[in-house]
Amino acid sequence: MEKKLSLKGKNCLITGGSRGLGRALCVDFAKSGANIAFTYSKHDEDAGECREILAQYSEPLVFKGSVADGDHVKDTVKSLMDSWGKIDVLVNNAAINQMLPLALLEENDWDDLMDINLKGCYLYSRAVIRFMIRQKKGHILNVGSFSSERFIESPIHYAGSKSGLRGLTESLALEVGKHNILVNLIAPGILTEGMSTIVPHHRVKEYEEQSAMGRLASTEEITPMARFLVSDKNTFMTGAKIVCDGGL
């Protein structure tokens, strides 16, 4: 099965790759033969750890900066094209969350989250798409959330950003499909790493009780599906939304 989902020789850029699901995607793809570049914004120690892990497979390219910074995005993609000559896969994974009710949600909180979760996806997709069009091939995978697919309590700006990402995925897939570029979205539930560390414990408990599987997923349970979506085995699925939430 691993051979069938090989990413050997693929050049993959993953945003927010220093920890959590982003790191798991970096490691899974690297184990499958891909060349990895990842971005991060703050956590130098985590990024260093991820770099060391990936170096077991091939030397990763690492870029520090915000996905909402247009100049940083352009410089990152230019550097990758100078180093690699092509980008086969973009994974828009970088995201933040804030557990704030609407009554306490300040305008700058809304703007900060939307910039990272939605604008960042737009900026990176725009930056790589012209190169993928020239290549006449490419995969873009956006990491969404079950909160945009299920009627469940979630901060409105987080749910709104992930719902916007769903619409962006569908529209972009339609726009670039004629160039053999496939754009999909994977929407994990609450994972054992990441969101579960900031969601109130009673909410996590409710999630586990309501889901068919009765538990949270590990990041390693999400990565194989992501790998399929960006592999050469996926030749026709585009504009799709794959929800991996344990049957909520």
- From residue 19, alpha-carbon distances to 43, 93, 223 in Å are 9, 11, 14
Q: 40, 122, 124, 158: which is the annotated catalytic residue? A: 158
Residue 28: Cβ within 10 Å count: 19
Note if 207 is an active site residue: no
- State the chain's maximal CA–CA distance in angstroms: 51
Please report the sign of the dihedral spanned by the C-alpha atoms of residue 83, residue 87, residue 89, residue 95: positive
Q: Give the span between the Cα atoms of 178 and 27, in whole angstroms.
A: 31
- Please list the active-site residues: 158
